A and B are shown apart, each in its own frame.
Chain A
């Protein structure tokens, strides 16, 4: 009620107002000081911190991938090079909805729907700021299709990148290998930082084994970007301190491969499944390494689709299998020269004494019969003829005399049952059987016993013995070098950016000791005989140089005791594998070769002609004359 009668006191109200203004003024000063304090904190105390953030905002490091090294054959022919191609890349942290983006790409037909999961895993396992290739090689049409919808795909961009290109196509793919997109499992054993900006990595063969040398060192370039992540080079004045580090290109590889010999080998194999390995016994240089059928390495470089990959893996002929390194087969009669050397070295064999071959061998104390592989009988044969004509009965007896342990011990230094140590990975060791091995390999005690009959089979390269074509080429080289041998190798030198080639020295294997020079001669003569009048004489006709060789036939299908193997009645895939090993010229060998033709039947008819073509291709010039060494 008192308030109702209050009278307005102007002087008092003026004083009240002035007091309030004073209070407000103090508050203003306090608040302004608080503001200035805040600014001092940001701009003076935390200045360095915010400067770094601002720098990180606008400077993005872009990797500059190093050019992958080229791969050349021994004569400088290009086997793998680089080609610019359009590539769709994705920066994970700039993609707001990864699943949506990938589905969008499926709808555009740029990726296949069943590769989405794997792609997503790969993307997730990359660092968020790395540019991950999504489509490795885009056609002009793909580029156009993406370009019109680009605004729907933040964080994705088309880049021009170098991709791998194989001018010879499939030729030599099992030696060269191929490159493919970096997968989740690749990331586990590479330095991610070093591979930032790299799209492709070697997957097999030389491409994989020499990945480090081929890859080189990626460089980087700092670029100014705006808030949208777009590069804004025009505004360079805003950041004059941008750094660039040039990439160092990968080294070029000089291979021992001779692409012409390789081509001849592959053409000679033709539609057969099989392998050819040719090497120089004087240094281990692999001159040809063919495995048929083969596949197109560029499929992987451009990103193989699931269907295409399934076609390769489901193919009954197994084009992805490198038969030269990973195909293991019984050696067949190609083992005979080595077994003969064992007999001579252990002095259990008189090379001039003839044995009578009636086509059947009786193992003493057993009712089992061992037949001559191709049937027929050789009559009286001494060592040279036994090798030349590949008389099984002769070697059945020799094997029985030698015994399994002596044969295995003598064969081991030739490389049977062990890796040759070739400079690409994936090689299989094969198997050199011994009684000890059999004890460990089988579970049932009854199976662990080594039977005398198994020694007999071993002596002619059947049974448990398994070899790869690479191993047999190496064995041929060992015989050619009379015990001197070298580790097979595909890469003979690294060429740097200036064109200087740094050669890689050949690695010598352990020399085979204790074999008399005369014994080498006897065995080699047997092998020459095989070409001149023996099993492979058809393939030796008209040669401008001397050849030593040995045929072999590896059993796929065991013929019943009392039956004879008939090529025509056996299903194609159950037919014997055909082998042929050879070296030439005999006097001063320059090339050793092993040929395997799967289900080819007899070595003499299926494999030896191929070997002859390979020898000719390497040793003869255009006029058909022996090249000067």
Chain B
């Protein structure tokens, strides 16, 4: 009896100790748990998807480690400092993009990477954070919903880096940057009538564009929208990933027993198409669990964004939470055949250092915004 009580109280003390430590580190325990679960799930899947390559798992863990370091550092920074740094980060990003584009132009080829000797990174990744930060910074002092003039400036702020990334050319990342910027504007309370007119105008533009397109261009668009028509080309990925997911059934074929993944029918199985590996090996239940974990992370992130107390924090926090969901939806939608194939990794699960570090850095920023909220406004 005595033993049990002691051990129980010690456990409680440890728990509170952990909470206190998280608090001191400006981390949000609930969000950290969600992120950790997703990342751990990802490592388990990656081990199988990479063909039982422990090296890949170790490298992925290192990516997580780097991301955690970025998250920890950014969580310590005060939101005010972040806000003040936003335009400078944005400018740095633009300069780096111009340099990268320039090198690519000289080198006569696609160029996304900047080699810093020890570290290679993609400046476009910075923009995934810098663009919403810049937009939030711009709207911070202004009355919301944003005026037409503000919207025009915001458009320029978003389209400049998007254009530079398109030139690389990296349409997927460009779209994600555009989405991140747009989400800030939407969260800022963009009037419904403007949203509606943009949708109508976009629809009309697409219709006109279609009418004036050559047949081969139409065919290209159609293949993009429905890749299954091109069985051996663009369609191969999506057909194989649907076979993987579908053949997984409710319970899956079992860890490391997915024939589509293990026999290399599924391309890019440890990066963009890892979602299909989960579907094949862990089935519908495995994917539902993953989506549940993601939903939890998004919900917690949105809750944290709502709890923040100034415009910059709210807009940036809300945008970070929503872009995270957008990544998940685009990747899952693409792999399961709902959306066209664009190169978007599954957040925190797909193998890849840049994406992992950027995502965790984003969550670090969110934690900073949330954990420093009592200081704001004082």
Interface residues, chain A, with chain B CB atoms under 8 Å away:
3-4, 6-10, 13-14, 16-18, 20-21, 24-25, 28, 31-32, 34-36, 38-40, 42-44, 46-47, 49-51, 53-55, 57-58, 224-228, 232, 235, 237-239
Contacts and interface: CB of A to CB of B under 8 A. Distances in A.
Given A24-B302, A31-B329, A232-B263, A54 B144 contact: no
Given A7-B143, A238-B259, A20 B186 contact: yes
24 contacts: A8-B141, A14-B314, A16-B145, A17-B306, A25-B302, A28-B322, A32-B291, A35-B291, A35-B333, A36-B291, A39-B287, A42-B246, A43-B249, A43-B279, A44-B284, A49-B246, A57-B260, A58-B265, A226-B265, A227-B263, A228-B264, A232-B263, A235-B262, A238-B263
B262 A238 contact: yes
A194 to B, nearest CB: 30
Nearest to B267: A227
A6 B143 contact: yes
A54 B283 contact: no
A57 B243 contact: yes
Contacts of A4: 147
A42 B242 contact: yes
B342 to A, nearest CB: 16
A28 B295 contact: yes
Given A6-B143, A35-B329, A39-B279, A24 B322 contact: yes
A16 B144 contact: yes
Contacts of A54: 243-244, 246-247, 259-260, 265
Contact of B264 (A34, A55, A226): A226
Contact of B189 (A8, A20, A34, A53): A20
A25 B303 CA distance: 10
A447 to B, nearest CB: 67
B110 to A, nearest CB: 25
Interface hub of B299, B315, B325 (most chain A Cβ within 10 A): B325
A44 B244 contact: no
B249 A9 contact: no
Contacts of A51: 246-247, 249
Contacts of B263: 57-58, 224-227, 232, 235, 238
Contacts, number: 147
Chain B interface SS verdict (over half) = helix
A306 to B, nearest CB: 35
Contacts of A42: 242, 245-246, 279, 336-337
A32 B295 contact: yes
Interface in B227-253: 240, 242-250
Interface in B330-347: 332-333, 336-338
B249 A57 contact: no
Contacts of A14: 314
B347 to A, nearest CB: 14
Nearest to A9: B143
A228 B249 CA distance: 25
Given A42-B245, A43-B248, A227 B189 contact: no
Contacts of B242: 42, 50
A13 B144 contact: yes
Interface string B258-280: 01101111000000000000010
A239 B259 contact: yes
Contact of A28 (B141, B187, B262, B298): B298
Nearest to B333: A35
Contacts of A32: 291, 295, 329
